[in-house]
Amino acid sequence: MSEFFNHVSRRKFLLVTGASAGTVLLKGCLGNPPENLTGGSAQSQPSAQQVSANLNAEEKPETSKVKLGYVPIVEAAPFIIAKEKGFFAKYGMTSVDLSKQSSWGSMRDNTELGSAGGGVDGGQYQMPMPHLITEGLITKGNQKIPMYLLAQLITHGNGIAIASKHVGQGIELDLAKSGKTLFEKNKASKTPFTAAYTFARVNQDFWIRYWLAAGGINPDTDVKLIAVPSAQTVANMKTGTMDGFSTGDPWPYRIVKEKIGFLAMLTAQMWKNHPEEYFAMRSEWVNKNPKATKALLKGIMAAQQWLDNFDNRKEAAQILSGRNYFNLSADILMAPFQGKYDMGDGRSIDDKSMAAYYWKDERGSVSYPYKSHDLWFITESVRWGFLPKEYLTKAKEIIDKVNREDIWREAAKEAGIAASDIPTSTSRGVETFFDGIKFDPEKPEEYLKNLKIKKVNV
């Protein structure tokens, strides 16, 4: 089956994702940082002696060195905070090299290389990138690079931005109620409504597709969706050649603040407490360094708990916005970190439950990687024809191979995390979307059947 996909769909995949591959650096407000820039201040980390004195022998990592890739959006905060606040060092990971990636294409390529080849050992991923890399579906020459999914980094923090010229046409969360006219008008014209995401067939592609389809707009035939780097998308929105952008903070807020566009909706409105980006690593590194893997997880868990204390969010915004990391003004991060969104067209949201959460949300653990969420991403891939239908039956086998929630549990126990913060099931149960559609992880086919707009026949 994977052979089938390799031959038939790999080419298509490359055509779609090619635009985002490793060539364009983030510019403008996010600065123009050199790639693989290492952030961090030395004084925030305890000395190696202090660390080894505090660690018990059984937990002492095999290595203190690792290279993790990240993309400068709020999803990356747990890595940056774990390094800057000394949480990695506390568990013996005193040499964590955080490598800023210019695009998701370069994150994929650097994962393929591994740190020995000048790339990275793991880091931040959209979904289901770790599964696709493991299966050799997005790597060069279809090489299978086994990966382990170890923790979820964040929920919320993403949204759909629309160019200013479309203000006042009712483009909001529920397009079935209003705003549909614009898309129908555009469909009939020679220039279809064109929207971008940063990498095809992962989160941001899924969010805009779900939103459009729920409003009765077919994302494959009624609009044009393309992969374009963030900075270029924003420039194109300014000049009027791009209509929309499915992206994560700080981009949506920046677009509003600079009056380039407005926010149609937040992903938090579409699917409250939805799965977002993840921490994953090359299995080879994890198998060689099981204690160091748990040390990284413990550092990330500590950072996630620290980030969810809203009293720390001002400091978090200051650290993340620093020149070594996002290189922007801290106030751009502050408002969304408090759940405050000026939508840019007169609407606004002031609701803490809509803010980004890193450790816990209304549904329980954010950090724990629920297998039922991997299944949603694979099901959604089947919905849009990104993966052949047989992946629905193959999903369990792939998820069991990639998702290492067992390592998360072990690390949590060793770190003394309260039992109430450790989920008892690998499934979060039934998920409900804003339009009333439900995803029952026990019945993914039923979810697909209930969706009106889809590419797969079920």
Q: In the complex with Ca ion, which residue's Cβ is closer, 199 or 359?
A: 199
In which residue are the tokens 């629309």 written? Answer: 162
Is 134 or 158 the residue whose CB approaches Ca ion more closely? 158
Rounded to the nearest 10 degrees, the angle between the axes of helix 391-402 and helix 371-383 is 150
Q: Mask: binding to Ca ion, 118-157, rule CB under 5 A, as x and -?
A: ----------------------------------------
Angle subtended at Cα 32 by Cα 27 and Cα 36, rounded to the nearest 5 degrees: 125
Nearer to Ca ion, 105 or 248 (CB): 248
Q: How far is the CB of 14 from Ca ion (least distance, A)?
A: 22
d(CA 130, CA 402): 7
Helix %, strand %, coil % of the chain (to 5): 45, 15, 40
Under the criterion CB under 5 A, does residue 69 sit at the interface with Ca ion? Answer: no
Nearest to 399, CA basis, from 130, 155, 125, 31: 130
Site for Ca ion in 288-307 (CB under 5 A): none
- Give residue 432's Cα distance to chain centre: 20
Least distance (Å) from Ca ion to the CB of residue 178?
A: 26
**Smallest distance, Ca ion to C-beta of residue 202, A:** 9
Whether the Cβ atoms of residue 317 and residue 328 lie closer than 8 Å to each other: no
- Return the number of the residue (72 or 179) whose C-beta is nearest Ca ion: 72
Out of 248, 261, 275, 369, name the contact with Ca ion by CB under 5 A: 248
Part in contact with Ca ion (CB under 5 A); list of ranges 62-70, 110-118, 161-169, 245-253 = 245-253
CB of 154 to Ca ion, least distance (A): 8
Q: Where does residue 209 rank: exposed (0-12), middle (13-18), buried (19+ CB within 10 A)?
A: buried
Measured CA to CA, the distance from residue 345 to residue 118 in angstroms comes to 45
Q: How far apart are the first and last CA of the chain?
A: 18
Output the smallest distance, CB 185 to Ca ion, in A.
30
Q: Which stretch in 220-228, 248-256, 264-272, 362-370 sits in contact with Ca ion by CB under 5 A?
A: 248-256
Residue 115 or 203 having the CB closest to Ca ion: 203
Euclidean distance between CA atoms 60 and 65, whole angstroms? 13
* Binding positions for Ca ion, rule: CB under 5 A: 158, 203, 248
